[in-house]
Amino acid sequence: MEKDGVLTAETVSSCVRQRGCCVSSIGLQHYHHHMPLQNRNLTDVSILCKYVHLHKLELQNNNIKDLSCVSHMPSLVILDASHNEISEFFGFQPPKNLKEVNFSHNCMTKMRDLSEFSSLAKLNLDNNNFSEMCGLETCFELTHLSLGNNKISRISSLDNAPLIQLNLKGNKLTKIEGLENQKNLQVLDVSQNQISSLSGLQNLHVLCLLNLERNMINEIQECKHICNLLLLRDLNLLENPVQNQKDYRLSVVFLLQHLTFLDQESVSPEEKVTAVNEYDPPLEVVAARNHMKHLVYQMMQPQVLHDSTLLSVDSPYPMLVLTGPQCCGKRELAHRLCQDLSEYFGYGICHTTRSSYLGEEDAVDYHFVTKEDFENMITMGKFIQTVDYADHLYGLTREAVEEVAREGLACCVHMELEGVLSLKNSHFEPRYILLIPTQVDKYVDHLKSRNIYSPAQIDRAVSRIELYASTNRQRPGFFDNVIASDDWDEAYQTLHRVVKGYLHVEELGKQETDKEQDLEQEQPSEGATLGSSTSHLALDPTLLYYRYRYSHIQHQLNPPKTPAELASLRRREQLVREAIIGKSPAVYSHLFRSSTETGPSSLQNHNRSLHLSGDSSSEDSCASSELSVPSSAGALSTSEPLDGSAQGPARETSKDLSSSPEVHIPVLTSPLRNALGPT
């Protein structure tokens, strides 16, 4: 402890340390001296004027007011005078190489021009009384600046400083400004201010850490100002009002997906995936959710078989889906195809909440319904898939497919890509044909000529061309065929040819005639050739004809299966067969709880006999076509284990069934089943 706070020569010589030396340009040797004089209650250090070779001076935690002695230290590089009583800002002649200065915890109030201190790289001015930032315009080397806990209300004077770290914590800032030129800034601490917007940070492209704790940020959307700062890893928004916003953390994680720390907690990959799935789900996720939703609603309904739900699960109901961007002509082409190949295809009429355009007919182009009705239909499990497109809902109902299936025809529908993805989750296995505009100008002209689309809607439709094109590029085999839709007539010719190719229609022509002749000669009892289980059914020629034709469509239209798929289907089919003969697993038992209708019956009666659950006597009120079994491929495939608990009641049911001469196999009684019986 110095007497009266005056630094003495004895103390100095006992403290001074030699820290290496250097040789000047004229050959003189200079020693670097380090003077650690902290915590000594010093008030007067004027004796240091004699120590001209000081390289580093540490005076922290004293009571020094005057630092003019530094004017005599031309070699000084590092000066720490923090925790003193200095009020004058840089009150000394500039040492030429002064690089680091710490004046924190003093009583300075005013900054001054530092152009003479051009070597300054690190400056700590925390805990003073500065209310204005100035004098730094020529600090071309300044990389670290700390002005925390002052009274600064505006960021300024930093245009030329190549800052890497800036601390302005605990000031009176209300906005972030004056940082536009900070191309090197990596760490910014503006916590404990009154900042309400993140605007002003957009140009800080290498910013890694941003501390905004205890400010006035209110809106999650403010994060959009920093969403292009791809190196930002650590963001602190603790104690901002925005924390009270619903789903705050997930939303911020979504907007700033590159963050690894948010509010001092690490951001897990799971959080990132959840956030993306929540706010911008990939099309597959949307489709999977859509499929699950409809499946769950459907399973809550009484479970029965539909005409399109086949016992023979390796031969799914044949469908043709035309897909492509809005207004590429697919609806019209689907209609034309169904007209021209009316013996093969029926048009599946979707539901929509949009109003009809001029020339459109209800129950021909769409079923036009209100949003409320559409939503009710969703909860009633009516839909196979739905999409929300251009603020309107579209959906394909089970019944729309059934209507076509009851005619013994394959169902032809058109839909957007989202619908395709959802349908691909179901047990249907359609052929998918992409109709895509290749001449954008022509496509735009066509959209405009309809006079119903806003410029934004047109832009959206056009932008989706790339979505289809990239899907086709990135997923070989996703679409079975791609046809340019620029000229609808040409597109139709191609489509017609392609579909006929699927069906082998030309070669079919003659065979069909021969077969029809054969079928006409067949007796009802010959239905046994369809399989022993149907031998008791009397099949009229119409049914047989349907069977022949339908199975043909089916085999041609449905894409070939891999050996693994085939093995899985065989196994499931075997389970179904076991169910039929009485070794039924529980999960299939509901398929065979039949009405007691027996003997030969007309097509209509067979259809009626399909209802499979609930009160079997209420045949009239429960027509088969109104009901369905779970339609998901997933639902079917999860049903394979035959554990003991599941078998009990199922055996019971099937035993009853197998022992009853009344019971026939209902799923084989419709024309569709007939068409799909083992051949």
Ligand X SMILES: Nc1ncnc2c1ncn2[C@@H]1O[C@H](COP(=O)(O)OP(=O)(O)OP(=O)(O)O)[C@@H](O)[C@H]1O
Burial 174-205 (b: 16+ CB within 10 A, else e): ebbeebeebeebbbbbbbbbebbbbebbbebe
133 or 396: whose CB is closer to ligand X? Answer: 396
Contact 302, 623 (CB under 8 A): no
Distance CA 157, CA 161 (A): 8
Q: Which of 167, 118, 114, 122 is nearest to 143 (CA)?
A: 122
Q: What minimum distance in Å lies between the beta carbon of 390 and ligand X? A: 7
Strand 392-397 to 383-389 pairing:
antiparallel
366 or 588: whose CB is closer to ligand X? Answer: 366
Q: What minimum distance in Å lies between the beta carbon of 448 and ligand X? A: 13
Q: What minimum distance in Å lies between the beta carbon of 310 and ligand X? A: 22
Residue nearest to ligand X (CB): 419
Q: What minimum distance in Å lies between the beta carbon of 406 and ligand X? A: 20
Q: How many CB atoms lie within 10 A of CB 365?
A: 18
328 or 458: whose CB is closer to ligand X? Answer: 328
Q: Whose structure tokens read 């405009």? A: 448
Distance CA 247, CA 250 (A): 6
Q: What minimum distance in Å lies between the beta carbon of 614 and ligand X? A: 29
Distance CA 676, CA 679 (A): 8
Q: What minimum distance in Å lies between the beta carbon of 465 and ligand X? A: 12
Burial class (CB in 10 A: 0-12, 13-18, 19+), 167: buried
Distance CA 480, CA 435 (A): 11
Distance CA 665, CA 624 (A): 14
Q: What minimum distance in Å lies between the beta carbon of 331 and ligand X? A: 3
**Interface residues with ligand X (CB under 6 A)?**
326-331, 350, 385, 387, 389, 394-396, 414-416, 419
38 or 326: whose CB is closer to ligand X? Answer: 326
53 or 354: whose CB is closer to ligand X? Answer: 354
Q: Check residue 49 and report its DSSP letter.
A: G
169 or 330: whose CB is closer to ligand X? Answer: 330
Q: What minimum distance in Å lies between the beta carbon of 582 and ligand X? A: 41
Backbone angles phi, psi at 298, to 5 degrees: -70, -40
- 61 in the Ramachandran plot: left (φ > 0), alpha (ψ -120 to 50) or beta? left
What are the DSSP calls for 91-128, one per residue? -SPPPTT--EEE--SS--------TT-TT--EEE--SS
Q: What minimum distance in Å lies between the beta carbon of 372 and ligand X? A: 18
Distance CA 586, CA 566 (A): 23
88 or 340: whose CB is closer to ligand X? Answer: 340
Q: What minimum distance in Å lies between the beta carbon of 497 and ligand X? A: 20
55 or 294: whose CB is closer to ligand X? Answer: 294
248 or 488: whose CB is closer to ligand X? Answer: 488
Q: Which of 96, 135, 87 is nearest to 114 (CA)?
A: 135
Distance CA 125, CA 80 (A): 11
175 or 496: whose CB is closer to ligand X? Answer: 496
> 163-168: long-range contacts (C-beta < 8 A, 24 or more apart)?
167/126, 168/193
At a CB cut-off of 8 Å and minimum separation 6, what does 267 contact? 253, 259, 260, 261
Q: What minimum distance in Å lies between the beta carbon of 395 and ligand X? A: 5
Q: What minimum distance in Å lies between the beta carbon of 300 and ligand X? A: 21
350 or 650: whose CB is closer to ligand X? Answer: 350
329 or 527: whose CB is closer to ligand X? Answer: 329
